[in-house]
Amino acid sequence: MDNTDKDWIKDNVGDISTDSGDFEGEVFWSTDGKHTVHVKASTKDGRRSALAWGNEVYKRIKDTYGTKQAQSVKEYAKEPIEDLGKCSSCGAPNKKSLKSGKLYCSALCWKN
Site residues, Zn ion (CB under 5 A): 87, 89-90, 92, 105, 107, 109
Closer by beta carbon to Zn ion, 60 or else 86? 86
Closest separation between CB of residue 82 and Zn ion, Å?
18
| Residue (73 or 103) nearer to Zn ion, CB | 103
Q: How far apart are CA 112 and CA 109, in angstroms?
A: 6
Minimum distance, C-beta of residue 37 to Zn ion, in the bound complex (Å): 51
The helix/strand/coil state of 28 is strand
What's the rounded Cα separation, in Å, for the pair 23 and 32? Answer: 27
CB of 79 to Zn ion, least distance (A): 25
Q: Which is nearer to Zn ion, 71 or 106 (CB)?
A: 106
Count of beta carbons in the 10 Å neighbourhood of residue 30: 11
Helices (H), 13-98: 44-65, 68-78
